[in-house]
């Protein structure tokens, strides 16, 4: 079997076009969805992520503010900036790019963002809302994975979904969303004994590990949908996922490549969350 490739780039364009229509409808009513992205310090990778987020907003005609603060910004100054944005009517979404410098408590920072503008979905209130089945802001990467499954036509209800990884930003919310979609969900971690036993039983397999090509074809159930969230470098410095794509694609039914799979969806869903937040304000 050769798997169908789930083309994240094409699906991201399609999803962005859908959200652009919704943003345009808001703009016609005099409301331009606005996103504020705060970056503290000079981390090179973070700068690229932030630039891409701001660019995606511009492409959809959204208002965006790129707030670059020096690495020695105090926690109090950052919290004051967030408070200011919380009450800024032009801003519907606030995102603080992680990691923040060590002298700043990231939990305190995430908790300071208004839950109504928490487009990353990391505020405890929104985490709680997701786990009680009343999702308000879905964390962008798992939200993007769910969209990929939907657009690829993979049915979820009644299927066994295995998520490898339990981070707060990917693994846990991914498992919650799959559960909400009526999958039977297993979460595996670094402590799981005999990981392959679980992965081989997965109809839907989501990998959010951060280990280069760790999941090989022999660990995958024939016909499974494989979603590779991992973003790693191989021995040649080339971007690759947690899945050994070449062996996996011979067994899986669907598979996402890296790059060009989950990656383009994360920013797309951030834009979607921003527009949705503005829609909520408009509906009030």
Told to judge if 53 belongs to the known catalytic residues of this protein, a careful annotator would answer yes
Phi, psi at 52, each rounded to 5°: -70, -35
CA distances from 269 to 142, 144, 153, 177 (A): 9, 6, 19, 14
Q: Per CB under 6 A, does 164 bind ligand NDP?
A: yes
Q: Which is nearer to ligand NDP, 13 or 190 (CB)?
A: 190
Selected catalytic residue, list 7, 81, 118, 120 = 120
Q: What is the greatest pairwise CA distance in the chain? A: 56
Can you tell me the distance from the alpha carbon of 228 to that of 207, in angstroms, rounded to the nearest whole number? 5
The CB-of-255 to ligand NDP minimum distance in angstroms stands at 15
Q: Which of 142, 165, 173, 253 binds ligand NDP (CB under 6 A)?
A: 165
Selected catalytic residue, list 7, 81, 97, 172 = 97
Q: Per CB under 6 A, does 274 bind ligand NDP?
A: no
The CB-of-62 to ligand NDP minimum distance in angstroms stands at 19
Q: Per CB under 6 A, does 97 bind ligand NDP?
A: no
Told to judge if 159 belongs to the known catalytic residues of this protein, a careful annotator would answer no
Label residue 87 exposed, middle or buried (CB < 10 Å: 0-12, 13-18, 19+): exposed
Q: Per CB under 6 A, does 211 bind ligand NDP?
A: yes
Q: Which of 71, 74, 68, 81 has the alpha carbon at shortest distance from 39?
A: 68
Q: Which of 93, 230, 253, 257 binds ligand NDP (CB under 6 A)?
A: 230
Can you tell me the distance from the alpha carbon of 251 to that of 186, in angstroms, rounded to the nearest whole number? 21
Q: Per CB under 6 A, does 262 bind ligand NDP?
A: yes
Q: Which is nearer to ligand NDP, 73 or 268 (CB)?
A: 268
Q: Which is nearer to ligand NDP, 85 or 229 (CB)?
A: 229
176-205 positions binding ligand NDP, by CB under 6 A = 188-192, 195
Three-state SS for 167? coil
Contact between 119 and 139 (Cβ < 8 Å): no
Q: Which is nearer to ligand NDP, 268 or 276 (CB)?
A: 268
Q: Which is nearer to ligand NDP, 85 or 219 (CB)?
A: 219
Token pair, residue 55, equals 């660019």
Told to judge if 197 belongs to the known catalytic residues of this protein, a careful annotator would answer no
Q: Per CB under 6 A, does 141 bind ligand NDP?
A: yes
Query: What sign for the dihedral angle of Cα 100, 50, 245, 248?
Result: positive
Three-state SS for 64? strand
Q: Is the peptide bond before 99 cis (omega within 30 degrees of 0)?
A: yes
Q: Which of 41, 101, 115, 210 binds ligand NDP (CB under 6 A)?
A: 210
Instruction: List, by residue number, the catalytic residues.
Output: 53, 97, 120
Residues of this chain that bind ligand NDP (CB under 6 A)? 141, 164-167, 169-171, 188-192, 195, 208-211, 229-232, 262-263, 266
């Amino acid at each position: 079997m050769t798997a169908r490739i789930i083309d994240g780039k094409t699906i991201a364009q399609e999803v962005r076009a859908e959200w652009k229509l919704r943003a345009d409808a808001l703009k016609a009513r005099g409301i331009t969805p606005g996103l504020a992205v705060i970056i503290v310090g000079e981390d090179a990778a973070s700068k690229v992520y932030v630039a891409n987020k701001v660019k995606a907003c511009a492409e959809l005609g959204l208002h965006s503010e790129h707030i670059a603060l020096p690495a020695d910004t105090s926690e109090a100054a950052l919290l004051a900036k967030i408070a200011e944005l919380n009450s800024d009517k032009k801003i519907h979404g606030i995102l603080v790019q992680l990691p923040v410098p060590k002298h700043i408590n990231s939990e305190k920072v995430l908790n300071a963002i208004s839950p109504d503008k928490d487009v990353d979905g990391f505020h405890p209130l929104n985490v709680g809302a997701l786990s009680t089945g009343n999702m308000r802001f879905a964390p962008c990467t798992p939200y993007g994975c769910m969209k990929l499954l939907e657009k690829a036509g993979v049915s979820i209800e009644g299927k066994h979904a295995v998520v490898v990884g339990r981070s707060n930003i990917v693994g846990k919310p991914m498992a919650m969303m799959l559960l909400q979609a009526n999958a039977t969900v297993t979460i595996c971690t670094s402590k799981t004994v005999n990981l392959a036993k679980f992965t081989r039983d997965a109809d839907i397999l989501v990998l959010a590990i951060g280990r280069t090509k760790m999941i090989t074809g022999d660990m995958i159930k024939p016909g499974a949908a494989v979603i590779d969230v991992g973003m790693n470098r191989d021995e040649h410095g080339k971007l690759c996922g947690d899945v050994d794509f070449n062996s996996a694609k011979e067994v899986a039914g669907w598979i996402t490549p890296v790059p060009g799979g989950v990656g383009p969806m994360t920013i797309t869903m951030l834009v979607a969350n921003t527009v949705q937040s503005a829609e909520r304000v408009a509906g009030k």
